Structure 1
Amino acid sequence: MGYNTFFTGQVSVDPPLNAYEIEYLDRFSRVRHSHRATGLYVVDGADESDVVNDSEPQPGLPGYWCQWVPDPAGKTLAWDEEEKFYYAELWMAYVIDTFLKPGATVAAELAEPVPGRVYPEAFRHFTFDHVVNGVIDAEGDEEDDVWRIEVRDNAVHVVRLVTRPDYYTFDELPPQEWGTDVWDRFAAATRHNYAYVIRDGAAQEIGPAAESGFDPIEP
């Protein structure tokens, strides 16, 4: 069970990642990020002695699994092709903002470490000077779940063919009990070909893609 999304394409990383960054990001993608006492950056999946709660992801992370991986030369990031990649756009922004870009979160924390948080030795070799650009197309299990991640100079944007409100929070009644008036309101609140920017761990609406400098998605 679960929901699958398939991703096509890659983003470029300039200058390329060094060997320490490649190895760390590869390991970061292969660790289940449960809630740990030692913080967000642990990549030793074999040692679970610091796990506080395995039934919830580490606070501050989009979810359990980051499935963006670098290529062997460190020039690109792409999907690892494993199933059920959730919050892909949030993970892309997290990787860039935390590990890669100038002024990245880890760079600031190395100067002023958070008490109790573990910082891998590899961080001493991170350069925090990377610029990420590129387009990755996404298609989910549902027929009209078609969207695109577009990274422009480290800023992560998303263009979605259709963005619907959440069925189960839109109205006090469940969808099976909606009348015509509620369905009309739901249709009016549904966005078509809208662009979003990922900021502070969430997607923030920009506006219609064509009016916001983004190519619309063809149905």
Structure 2
Amino acid sequence: MGFSTVYLRPFHFDRPLDPQHAASLREFHETEHEYDDGNPGGEGMPPTYYCQWIPSADGRQLEWDKNEKFYFGKEWLEYLIQRFIAPWGYQLNGASPWYIDEFEAAGILMVTDNVVSDEDRDIGSVKREFGEFDIYGMG
């Protein structure tokens, strides 16, 4: 049994993604990431098996795919920015409040000109200010 991190807001690209770039990120999202030893992670490598950040339908945002058990959201953002977003010449910005019910943890994941940071917050205040998402009811 695991836990799920809920992200309540998307991040914004400085301009819409080129359709080829959006398709590349969607394909990357659908791929399981592991290495010769069968494990993910390592220096400069994807942090877990699944990247749950995906471009929005219009290619203007990067958002959580709303599937359960998303781990290492910050590390995944850093990886995507380093591997794809920055080399393609895009800037990502925004702030996504997040929470993990199982640990009573919460915060704000921020991206400013492709630099990622995270700030811890009280879970109650995040839910009151930004709302909640029922991951199992999908709504």
Superposition TM-score tier, normalisation by shorter sequence:
0.7 to 0.9
**Alpha-carbon distance in 2 for matches of 1:141, 1:64:** 22
User: Equivalent of 2:46, from 61, 64, 68?
Assistant: 61
**Alpha-carbon distance in 1 for matches of 2:105, 2:41:** 27
**Alpha-carbon distance in 2 for matches of 1:83, 1:53:** 25
Which residue in the other structure is 1:100 paired with? 85
Number of corresponding residues: 123
Deviations 1:30-54 (A, max 9, x none): 111010xxxxxxxxxxxxxxxx232
Which residue in the other structure is 1:125 paired with? none
- Say which SS state the counterpart of residue 10 (structure 2) adopts: strand
User: Equivalent of 1:139, from 86, 99, 102?
Assistant: 99
Letter of the structure 2 residue corresponding to residue 57 of structure 1 = P
**Alpha-carbon distance in 2 for matches of 1:9, 1:161:** 15
Letter of the structure 2 residue corresponding to residue 142 of structure 1 = E
Which residue in the other structure is 2:58 paired with? 73
Structure 1 runs of 4+ aligned residues shifted over 3 Å read none
Which residue in the other structure is 1:89 paired with? 74
Give the deviation of 1:58 after TM superposition: 5.2
- Say which SS state the counterpart of residue 24 (structure 1) adopts: helix
Give the deviation of 1:161 after TM superposition: 2.7
Letter of the structure 2 residue corresponding to residue 72 of structure 1 = A
**Alpha-carbon distance in 2 for matches of 1:86, 1:142:** 13
**Alpha-carbon distance in 1 for matches of 2:94, 2:53:** 13
**Alpha-carbon distance in 1 for matches of 2:109, 2:26:** 21
Deviations 1:76-129 (A, max 9, x none): 00000011000001101111121111xx3xxxxxxxxxxxxxxxxxxxxxxx21
Give the deviation of 1:142 after TM superposition: 3.0
Which residue in the other structure is 1:22 paired with? 22
- Say which SS state the counterpart of residue 142 (structure 1) adopts: helix
Q: Aligned Cα RMSD in Å?
A: 1.8
Q: Which has the larger radius of gyration?
A: 1
- Say which SS state the counterpart of residue 134 (structure 1) adopts: strand
Kindly report which structure 2 residues correspond to 1:69-218, keeping only aligned pairs within 5 A, or say none.
69-101=54-86, 104=87, 128-142=88-102, 144-161=104-121, 218=125
Letter of the structure 1 residue corresponding to residue 28 of structure 2 = F
* Greater fraction of residues in strand: 1
Give the deviation of 1:218 after TM superposition: 4.1
Letter of the structure 2 residue corresponding to residue 82 of structure 1 = N
**Alpha-carbon distance in 2 for matches of 1:30, 1:8:** 21
**Alpha-carbon distance in 2 for matches of 1:100, 1:6:** 23
TM-score, normalised with respect to structure 1: 0.53
Where do 5+ consecutive residues of structure 1 fail to align?
Answer: 36-51, 105-127, 163-216
Identity %: 29
